[in-house]
């Protein structure tokens, strides 16, 4: 679809959109045009109404999913930590309870009797796993009785850490140590005083293998590492990340808590970990479980990327749709405004033409009466001088009266043109060849063209059709235009007339001169009545009458001109005028 500017020239859609949003040359205040402001404000408001809820919903969904995902990855670690804590506490509690039961049930003599210890060890091994050996230590720290795979009877224990701690306690679970056997183990010691007030310590050696197996079970696929440390930060079981037993743990010592604790973003070995910890009651053991946050968060990062891409894609799609719809909407508004302005302009021109027509009709009518009297009296004088014998013929007077009659005829012709301009003229359609009609018009002006040395040229297309229109009005139309072109050109000028079949079912006549041209400010007013660029020489009615004729014939007229270069008129006429 094409649009026309004020001069009737067609404007392409690309230039039209540019004029809406980027061309503010007509804006004297250097502010954006109202169509650009309308487009911008509409896009901003609709985009805000559309995108803000989308961002809000996405942010809420992001937060809720983050919380849900956080619970999803932390609850299993908390659960594993709690289960392992309960197992280890039960493991120790069972063996402490068994040791207490034996100490309280057996007599001192039986405990120091090496022949009866094998039976006690056998019963303990049947009931509980991980029992390596048992022994009875007196208050001086000497192993009085022993049963197990090593020969420890008579061994002095008073310099060992577990014995020192037993001086102030009734039950003690030692840290893991290697001892003389160079095998990781720890000791559970239970103290009882005999009737003489002397202390008897029943010591049970526990292998760490069973605890290690349980800890390995706790460290599933999603768990990076699981192990025991003591309150000094020394490994009590092997660690996948930090080495074997009795090496230092670099993660620090967790604060005491009765339940399990979960720490986030623990930086160890250039990685962030989730660290679950639990203090094992009645011991110095601390269970530690580590899970690599990056591995756990893979699905969260994937979801985060997908959500971000969805938000970006949705925002871009919404903006593109809004901009496209708004552009079309504002374009339609501007088109409607242009049509309204053109309609108002036509109505204003029509009203002005009607007013001028009524005025012209009145003036012409009033002038015609005295002109008729002058014409009659001048004719009577001529007849008297020519045909009567009473008055001798006076050729000088006859010439003067003939001049008066010619002037009256010219005035009469002008008044008839004014009446024709004011009066609605019926259009008579007949088949016409435009090239022949324009050739006849040029024939009327042949002498003037020769006198002023003006070169005229007519070009026609090979497929020029015959049109059906009014011959007399077309002659007047082209006579006015060619006369204006002659007036604008100096001696030796050039007038080119091109007739072609364009657009479909229409014929366009292009009349181009190389005259003085018309200023751009005057182009908007040249079809208005009494507007003239000829100053005192013109009446300003020629192009107004021409415009009215073109409208009556169902055509269009436009003009393009540059000062000092020339003027071009475009007259488009239909092949068959619609009634």
The more confident residue out of 16 and 451 is 451
Minimal CA–CA distance to 484: which of 434, 438, 534, 447? 534
What is the average pLDDT across 242-264?
Answer: 91
- Hey, CA dihedral for 257, 263, 267, 273, is it positive or negative? positive
Q: What are the residues whose beta carbons fall under 8 Å from the beta carbon of 372, sequence distance 6 or more?
A: none
- What confidence category does residue 139 fall into, taking pLDDT thresholds of 50, 70 and 90? confident
Closest CA to 508 of 578, 579, 557: 557
**Alpha-carbon distance 192 to 201, whole Å?**
6
pLDDT band at 408 (very low <50, low <70, confident <90, very high): confident
307 or 179, higher pLDDT: 307
Q: Which helix (H) or strand (E) holds 192?
A: strand 185-193
Residue 425 CA from chain centroid, whole number: 59
Average pLDDT rounded to a whole number, residues 388-392: 66
pLDDT at 542: 77
Among 216-220, 439-443, 486-490, 509-513, the minimum mean pLDDT is found in: 216-220
Q: How many Cα neighbours within 13 Å face the side chain of 108?
A: 14
| Higher per-residue confidence, 572 vs 476 | 572
CA distances from 157 to 180, 192, 484, 492 (A): 12, 17, 134, 137
Q: What is the pLDDT of residues 234-248, one digit of tens each?
A: 999 999 999 999 999
| Interval 321-371: pLDDT, tens | 999 999 999 999 989 988 888 787 777 766 666 666 667 777 777 787 888
d(C-alpha 224, C-alpha 289), whole Å:
8
In the structure encoding, which two tokens stand for residue 279, read together? 């203090």
Residue ranges and CATH numbers for the domains of the chain are 1-31 (no CATH), 70-296 (3.30.450.20), 330-423 (1.10.287), 428-574 (3.30.565.10)
pLDDT band at 418 (very low <50, low <70, confident <90, very high): low
pLDDT for res 22: 43
Within 8 A by CB and 6+ apart from 546, the residues are 476, 477, 480, 481, 527, 557
- Write down the mean pLDDT value for the chain: 84
- For the stretch 180-213, pLDDT in tens is 778 899 999 999 887 777 888 999 999 888 888 8
**Stretch 489-502: mean pLDDT:** 92
Residue-level pLDDT at 369: 80
Q: Is the pLDDT of residue 136 over 80?
A: yes
Residue pLDDT, tens place only, 10-52: 444 444 444 445 444 444 455 678 888 999 999 999 999 999 9
Strand partners, 179: none
User: Is the pLDDT confidence value at 54 over 50?
Assistant: yes
Label residue 536 exposed, middle or buried (CB < 10 Å: 0-12, 13-18, 19+): exposed
- Which segments of 506-541 does DSSP mark as H helices, in order? 520-523
Q: What is the DSSP letter of 235?
A: B
pTM of the model as a whole: 0.53
């Amino acid at each position: 679809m094409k649009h026309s500017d004020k001069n009737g020239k067609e404007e392409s859609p690309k230039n039209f959109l540019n004029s809406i949003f980027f061309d503010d040359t007509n804006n004297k205040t250097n502010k954006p045009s109202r169509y650009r402001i309308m487009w911008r404000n509409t896009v901003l408001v609709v985009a805000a109404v559309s995108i803000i809820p989308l961002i809000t919903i996405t942010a809420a969904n992001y937060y809720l999913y983050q919380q849900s995902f956080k619970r999803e990855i932390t609850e299993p670690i908390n659960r594993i930590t709690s289960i392992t804590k309960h197992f280890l506490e039960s493991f120790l509690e069972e063996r402490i309870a068994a040791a207490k039961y034996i100490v309280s049930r057996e007599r001192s003599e039986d405990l120091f009797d090496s022949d009866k210890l094998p039976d006690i060890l056998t019963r303990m091994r049947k009931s509980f796993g991980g029992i390596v050996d048992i022994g009875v230590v007196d208050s001086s720290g000497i192993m009085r009785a022993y049963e197990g795979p090593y020969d420890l009877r008579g061994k002095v224990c008073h310099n060992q850490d577990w014995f020192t701690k037993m001086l102030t306690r009734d039950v003690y679970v030692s840290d893991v140590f290697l001892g003389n056997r160079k095998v990781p183990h720890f000791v559970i010691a239970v103290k009882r005083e005999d009737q003489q007030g002397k202390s008897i310590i029943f010591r049970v050696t526990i292998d760490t293998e069973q605890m290690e197996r349980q800890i390995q079970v706790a460290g599933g696929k999603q768990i990076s590492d699981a192990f025991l440390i003591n309150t000094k930060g020394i490994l009590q079981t092997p660690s996948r990340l930090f080495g074997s037993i009795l090496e230092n743990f670099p993660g620090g010592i967790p604060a005491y808590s009765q339940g399990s604790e979960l720490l986030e973003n623990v930086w160890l070995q250039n990685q962030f970990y989730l660290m679950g910890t639990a203090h094992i009651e009645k011991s110095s053991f601390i269970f530690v479980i580590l899970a690599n946050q990056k591995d756990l968060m893979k699905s969260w990062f994937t979801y985060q990327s997908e959500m971000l891409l969805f938000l970006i894609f949705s925002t871009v799609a919404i903006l593109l749709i809004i901009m496209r719809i708004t552009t079309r909407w504002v374009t339609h508004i501007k088109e409607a405004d242009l049509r309204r302005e053109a309609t108002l302009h036509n109505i204003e021109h029509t009203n002005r033409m009607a007013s001028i027509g009524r005025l012209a009709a009145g003036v012409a009518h009033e002038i015609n009466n005295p002109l008729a009297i002058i014409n009659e009296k001048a004719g009577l004088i001529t007849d008297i001088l020519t045909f009567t014998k009473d008055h001798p013929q006076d050729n000088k007077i006859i010439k003067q009266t003939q001049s008066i009659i010619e002037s009256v005829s010219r005035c009469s012709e002008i008044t008839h043109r004014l009446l024709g301009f004011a009066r609605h003229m019926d259009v008579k359609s007949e088949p016409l060849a435009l090239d022949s009609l324009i050739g006849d018009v040029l024939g009327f002006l042949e002498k003037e063209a020769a006198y002023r040395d003006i070169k005229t040229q007519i070009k026609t297309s090979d497929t020029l059709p015959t049109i059906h229109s009014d011959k007399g009005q077309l002659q007047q139309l082209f006579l006015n235009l060619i006369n204006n072109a002659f007036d604008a050109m100096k001696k030796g000028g050039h007038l080119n007339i091109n007739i072609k079949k364009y657009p479909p079912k229409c014929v366009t006549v292009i009349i181009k001169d190389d005259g003085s041209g018309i200023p751009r400010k005057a182009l908007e007013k040249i079809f208005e009545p009494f507007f003239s660029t000829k100053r005192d020489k013109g009446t300003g009615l020629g192009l107004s009458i021409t415009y009215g004729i073109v409208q009556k014939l169902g055509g269009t007229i436009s003009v393009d001109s540059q000062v000092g270069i020339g003027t071009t008129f475009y007259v488009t006429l239909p092949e068959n005028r619609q009634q």
